[in-house]
């Protein structure tokens, strides 16, 4: 009689210990990365789109979640922007991103007639995109708004 009672108490203890906390370090998940294409020429730099994080994303980004509202992420968190840049000039250069408060980030080298991709976490605000080695090239304006769509409902995203 004592053995079944002891096994029952042990099983209850194991079941109770297996219950974890209700909070998770990845809840809510971070915002979805914004994609921006940058073209560098001898006379100008262009960024498309010129602004990100300005409209609420009400639709899911992947088909399996169609019809599901997109949950919001922290609006104060920096938005990770994936820049894909092409250098159509004959001069190697780097892309400089400048913003308020002395914010400055640089890409790695972009070889002449080549391309590169890099990610930067950008807080809300206005930025300029400049080519370091092309002083005659007109900089592009770029804006990051406060709208953030969480990756919570999307599969295979961080």
pTM of the model: 0.70
- CA 42, CA 55: separation in Å to the nearest integer? 32
pLDDT tens readout for residues 56-91: 655 555 555 566 655 566 666 788 899 999 999 999
What structural domains does the chain harbor?
29-144 (2.60.40)
pLDDT tens readout for residues 30-46: 677 889 999 999 999 99
Task: Report the DSSP beta bridge partners of residue 2.
Answer: none
Q: Is the peptide bond before 49 cis (omega within 30 degrees of 0)?
A: yes
- Beta-carbon contacts of residue 94 (< 8 Å; ≥ 6 apart): 106, 107, 108, 109, 110, 131, 132, 133
Residue environment code for 60-81, b if the CB has 16+ CB neighbours within 10 A, otherwise e: beeeeeeeeebeebeeeeebeb
Is the Cβ–Cβ distance between 125 and 110 less than 8 Å? Answer: no
């Amino acid at each position: 009689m004592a053995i079944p009672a002891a096994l029952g108490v042990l099983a209850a203890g194991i079941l109770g210990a297996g219950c974890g906390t209700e909070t998770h370090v990845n809840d809510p998940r971070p915002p979805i990365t914004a994609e921006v294409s940058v073209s560098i020429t001898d006379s100008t730099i262009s960024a498309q789109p010129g602004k990100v994080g300005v409209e609420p994303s009400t639709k899911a980004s992947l088909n399996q979640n169609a019809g599901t509202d997109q949950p919001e992420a922290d609006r104060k968190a920096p938005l990770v922007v994936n820049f894909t840049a092409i250098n159509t000039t004959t001069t190697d250069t780097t892309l400089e991103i400048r913003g308020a408060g002395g914010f400055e980030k640089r890409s790695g080298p972009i070889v002449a007639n080549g391309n590169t991709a890099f990610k930067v976490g950008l807080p809300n605000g206005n930025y300029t995109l400049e080519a370091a080695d092309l002083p005659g090239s007109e900089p592009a304006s770029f804006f990051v708004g406060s709208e953030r769509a969480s990756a919570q409902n999307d599969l295979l995203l961080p």
